Structure 1
Amino acid sequence: MDEAEGESSISEEDLDLPFIEFLKKQKLTPKMIGVVLYAIAMADYDQEDDDCCGKLLTTRDGIKAVAVYVKSIERFVNAKGAFIYPMHGHGELPQAFCRFAAVKGALYVLRMPVIALLMDKEKQHYIGTRLASGQDIMCQHLILDPSYKIPSELPSDASDSNSTRKVARGICITKKPVKPNSSNVVVVFPPKSLHQQQDATLRVLQLSSNVSVCPPEMYIAHLSIPCVDAYTGKLYINKAIEVLLGSETSNDSKGHLETTREDNNDVNQGLIWKCIYVQEITQGTPGTILSCPMPDEYLDYRNILESTKKLFADIYPDKEFLPRNSAPQYADDDPDPPE
């Protein structure tokens, strides 16, 4: 289904409706509505409760999300579903960027911490960084991780205007899949499916050795859910682990980080090791120092890519973002192009 085609067949009045109301008008069953909202459109919050819903999905946005899902199905020959995961994990993505940037003339420096920011006090503008080696790197634009703490005596528009939210995360190493005969799979717990007070969607991404992220006959499960505090976030993560693996888990969520090596009974149930923690997601904004958003609770990269494109446009308004190079042209008298 094409996104524009889907919208053109729906009236403007319906496009502005909450997506859940539009789905009800289509006479879908409650179960099918839940599948569309939380497993396909990937709604983050309870769409039936206007009071607690952090983000009510409109029909317009819902159709766009469904279109992305449909267009992603069997996009690659060896991927039957709508999701594909990079080999060797997400760490390959910055490595790919590093290689791409190097081809374009960029310089990557590893294992060299930044110890200070350099500033032109007259212009009230940052002009570079100082490395642990003592070397100063001067630049016209400075882009930092939004969590980087800027000294309070210096202007820091980006960090002052940051908005933060919390995401509870869990990582489990298991001896059995969360779903029988599955290797790489996404599991979605809609709001209120784990706990009556659960107002956000909890997502589980299970990966196996066929994407080179764990040893053979083992699995890694990543769990995440937006939360307002550490206690409720960890409570839902623990409950999801219990449901998926049949293992009783501790609800002691006073600490920020829980790391557990499970006992023999848990190993028999499949759980070998787990780590549960709460992360503050900081969104950077343009200012004296530019910044990109941190990895968030979503399973795709749309927010990061859109923010990156906007940041690039702010710095280079006349340049094209990641232009595609045309195929090289070879002279007629040189039939064999270089390898």
Structure 2
Amino acid sequence: MADSENVSYPSIDPSTFDLIVVGTGLPESVIAAAASAAGKSVLHLDANPFYGSHFSSLTLDNFTSFLQSNCDTSSSSSMEDDTVNDGTEYNLVNLKPRRLYSDIEISYLVSPESLEPLRKFNLDLAGPRVLFCADSVVDLILKSGASHCLEFKSIDATFIYGIDGHGRLLSVPDTRAAIFKDRSLGLAEKNQLMRFFKLVQEHFGSEGAGGDRQEESGRISDEDLESPFVEFLKKQRLPPKIKSIILYAIAMADYDQDSPEVSNNLLKTKDVVQSLALYHSSVGRFQNAMGAMIYPIYGQGELPQAFCRRAAVKGALYVMRMPVTSVLLDKESRHYKGVRLASGQDLFSHELVMDPCFTVRLPSLLSPSSNLQYENTEGKVARGICIIRGSINPDLSNLLVVFPPRSLCTEQVTSVRALQLGSNMAVCPSGLSVLYLSALCDDAAQGRELLRAAMNVLFPLPISKNSESSTSVETEGAEGETKPILMWNSIYVQELSMGSSEAVNICPMPDGTLDYRKLLESTVKLFQKIYPEEEIFPHSVTEDTEDNGDLPSEMPE
């Protein structure tokens, strides 16, 4: 964060806008770009010297300092003297930082010099995260013109752990050709998986052909669609191995679907079938994407930057290293009027959008529902980052590993996901890989235990911190396969909560899912709440280009 002491802040002119956006996270950047495209005057502010906020990709040293500066502390929750009357026509409601991270552990298993140059790393704060080729986020990227500022590579393969009873990583067969080539499945299992995929495809094919409701035409009945998906799978008589592949490695279910203690998280058949249809429609959408998922080169922090560039092309004004200290409320109407900057300047707008790392209370000024409140309704997500020498699979650079519930320990009720990215993604120096892990959890101890269990599978032998030669020594697993070397890792816990207020608009924080769909859905709803008469990016952008000195790039074709 910017240091407000001994800093000379520029004066911003004009001082009145249609929309002020605080924070350059992905949701804030999408809203800024959409509002600018709709002809609104937009001011976009960020206290950080970099774009992306909690969706950014940072160098190794910047990642460490940012994470530690945003660590949860008890002192940050003090809410005294929030509202100030400074003698002007406005009441000032102070903004206080809200820390998203806790239980931070950072370990160097080799000397820091072994990881040089640190600037070659682009580490995602909110990993692991990918885009499905056919999902609504990719469509929005294309529609908005943000694709002019982005380039992607595909995730080459997905693996699932522990479904064969031997503690191995098995490749996930997600296409007809992959099923036929798969050596871990028997002929009967291949036929069962093929029949199930065909059923899903025929279901959506019959809907697209006019909504034929005859079950014999391939459509899944309405009764089955509303039932828990595990019940539907029982009707299909699929073996446990196939069910795990479908549920956790293709549909990406977060919670154990077979245990009554997590029955509140059971997925309906209609939701899973939609996820399966998205997965299969993603395979083959782009010629040079090998599978269903893609990832932005240089890290997911490129996504908010791309939308910020689109907003700037449409006239949005950007000021970085500019903290906002207070919200201005009219004394008479008690309605939002503007913000006060760390420079002391007051800026005004019709609407305000803020990222989720602020705490605001409006005591005695407005009704309780107007206060900015956070509800911790979703628990927490434990995130981990590992820098490794080598690869989990020596033949692949970019891959996803899924650890289904109960595969690591009997107490595991959530999936653990690990996304490995190689240097061809421009996220690390050559010869190294970055591995992102995540697990939904109820508390920090549970989350850390799950991530460590997954790491222990991938890196079975500990490495001495004092061993200078450890970066050049490879270890072998039980069956002789080469294991990568763990060089550096970090584990931290992020809370998952939703903020709401009538006075200001709060963007969603990074969630615990693998993709961006829920995040985008919340962002679009927020934009529609602010501008109910406007369509978000109503026209596809094909003619707009920006001469910003960046290398030309595009979506895969």
- Place the TM-score, normalised by the shorter chain, in its bin: 0.7 to 0.9
Question: 1:257 matched to which residue of 2?
Answer: none
Stretches of structure 2 that go unaligned for 5 or more consecutive residues are 1-200, 208-212, 214-218, 476-484, 544-557
The Cα of 1:287 is off from its aligned counterpart by 2.3
Matched letter for residue 428 of structure 2: C
* Cα distance change, pair 109–25 in 1 and its aligned pair in 2 (3 A): same
Question: 1:222 matched to which residue of 2?
Answer: 436
The Cα of 1:50 is off from its aligned counterpart by 2.4
Count of equivalent residues: 318
Q: Secondary structure at the match of 1:142?
A: strand
Matched letter for residue 162 of structure 1: E
Matched, 1:198 2:408: no
Question: 2:33 matched to which residue of 1?
Answer: none
Matches for 1:269-284 after TM superposition, within 5 Å: 269=475, 270-284=485-499
The Cα of 1:180 is off from its aligned counterpart by 3.0
The Cα of 1:3 is off from its aligned counterpart by 6.9
The Cα of 1:36 is off from its aligned counterpart by 0.4
1:130 to 333, 340, 343: 340
Matched, 1:100 2:310: yes
Measured in 2, the distance between the counterparts of 1:312 and 1:202 equals 32
Confirm or deny: 8 A CA contact 2:374 2:497 kept in the other structure.
no
Measured in 1, the distance between the counterparts of 2:459 and 2:541 equals 51
The Cα of 1:316 is off from its aligned counterpart by 1.1
Measured in 2, the distance between the counterparts of 1:89 and 1:67 equals 27
The Cα of 1:54 is off from its aligned counterpart by 4.8
Confirm or deny: 8 A CA contact 1:2 1:67 kept in the other structure.
no
Deviations 1:36-93 (A, max 9, x none): 0001111110000122245211101010110111111122222111110001001111
Q: Secondary structure at the match of 2:509?
A: coil
Matches for 1:1-339 after TM superposition, within 5 Å: 1=201, 4-5=204-205, 9-151=219-361, 153=363, 157=370, 159-164=372-377, 165-248=379-462, 267=471, 268=473, 269=475, 270-285=485-500, 287-325=502-540
CA RMSD of aligned residues (A): 2.3
Q: How does the TM-score come out when normalised to structure 2?
A: 0.54
Confirm or deny: 8 A CA contact 1:292 1:304 kept in the other structure.
no
Q: How does the TM-score come out when normalised to structure 1?
A: 0.87
* Cα distance change, pair 300–138 in 1 and its aligned pair in 2 (3 A): same
* Cα distance change, pair 6–237 in 1 and its aligned pair in 2 (3 A): farther
Measured in 1, the distance between the counterparts of 2:314 and 2:202 equals 35
Deviates more, 1:72-81 or 1:185-194: 72-81
Deviations 1:191-242 (A, max 9, x none): 0111110100111111111111111110000000000011110001011011
Question: 1:333 matched to which residue of 2?
Answer: none
Measured in 2, the distance between the counterparts of 1:301 and 1:75 equals 18
Q: Secondary structure at the match of 2:237?
A: coil
Confirm or deny: 8 A CA contact 1:173 1:218 kept in the other structure.
yes
Measured in 1, the distance between the counterparts of 2:425 and 2:356 equals 30
Measured in 1, the distance between the counterparts of 2:424 and 2:337 equals 45
Confirm or deny: 8 A CA contact 2:372 2:501 kept in the other structure.
no
Measured in 1, the distance between the counterparts of 2:505 and 2:428 equals 36
Confirm or deny: 8 A CA contact 1:114 1:129 kept in the other structure.
yes
Deviates more, 1:134-143 or 1:3-12: 3-12
Stretches of structure 1 that go unaligned for 5 or more consecutive residues are 250-259, 329-339
Confirm or deny: 8 A CA contact 1:50 1:56 kept in the other structure.
no
The Cα of 1:262 is off from its aligned counterpart by 8.1
Deviates more, 1:101-110 or 1:280-289: 280-289
| Greater RCO, 1 or 2 (C-alpha within 8 Å, sep 6+) | 2
